[in-house]
Amino acid sequence: NAGVTQTPKFQVLKTGQSMTLQCAQDMNHNSMYWYRQDPGMGLRLIYYSASEGTTDKGEVPNGYNVSRLNKREFSLRLESAAPSQTSVYFCASPDRKGVTQYFGPGTRLTVL
Amino acid sequence: GQQVMQIPQYQHVQEGEDFTTYCNSSTTLSNIQWYKQRPGGHPVFLIQLVKSGEVKKQKRLTFQFGEAKKNSSLHITATQTTDVGTYFCARLTGTASKLTFGTGTRLQVTL
């Protein structure tokens, strides 16, 4: 039981390049989330998926797209990366009561 | 969105000293959660408080929710080097379990 897994762990992109961050959970949870964390700041919600087949914007969705591929997987895509998207990205999934959020290990992204 | 402010931003203590971080909101909170994030790690859920005046303890950690449900605190008694990290408060909103995080308090503990 791995919980929440994310790939890759690290990535360096050039401005304008695209990439997809992958997230998977094996806890059979319905909801999944993408957050970003910038230095000195708390985490901010980018997009979320309350259930398979649904996605919604969070606080900072501009420049991102998401896909809820199935109940296990939720991916985050940067179509044209910008330096402002340099951040640590965390995927999370709450338990069935919606209380305890389980976070993945994070993807550290640098855009040059 | 509605802000959740945390103070202090940073605190450096010697091992054995106590530590407190405060979380304040301008509006009434239905709940408050606390997370710990070790350096280079991911946030780990510690606790959720929902009742006015609620106090919960986990070993050396004491969590409080204010009577007016507009503030909360985390107190660590006799800090250890294993307490190093950033402590975040967060409020859970809506039916979709979205979290709004405070800015965090970074704790450094030295021998």
Mean pLDDT, residues B62-71 taken together? 97
Residue numbers in A near B91 (CB within 8 A):
none
Strands A65-68, B4-7: pairing kind:
unpaired
Beta carbons within 8 Å of B28's beta carbon, 6+ residues apart: B68, B69, B70
Per-residue pLDDT, A1? 66
Return residues 82-101 of A near B (CB < 8 Å).
90, 92, 94, 98-101
Mean of the per-residue pLDDT values of chain B: 94
End-to-end CA, chain B: 40
Q: B98 and A98 in contact by Cβ < 8 A?
A: no
End-to-end CA, chain A: 36
Q: B45 and A41 in contact by Cβ < 8 A?
A: no
Q: Is A2 left (phi over 0), alpha (psi -120 to 50) or beta?
A: alpha
Are B93 and B9 within 8 A, CB to CB? no
CA distance B37 to B68: 28
Residue B81: which pLDDT band, with cuts at 50, 70 and 90?
A: very high
CA distance A46 to A66: 9
CA distance A63 to A44: 14
Per-residue pLDDT, B97? 80
Tokens 């309350």 -> residue: A50
The 3-state DSSP class for residue B105 equals strand
The 3-state DSSP class for residue B109 equals strand
Residue B2, pLDDT > 70, answer: no
Per-residue pLDDT, A2? 74
Mean pLDDT, residues B83-111 taken together? 91
Residue B41, pLDDT > 90, answer: yes
Q: B1 and A41 in contact by Cβ < 8 A?
A: no
Residue B1, pLDDT > 70, answer: no
Per-residue pLDDT, B4? 87
Closest of B34, B31, B35, B26 to residue B52, by C-alpha: B31
Residue B73: which pLDDT band, with cuts at 50, 70 and 90?
A: very high
Q: pLDDT under 70 in chain A at which residues?
A: 1
Q: How far is A43 from chain B (nearest CA, A)?
A: 6
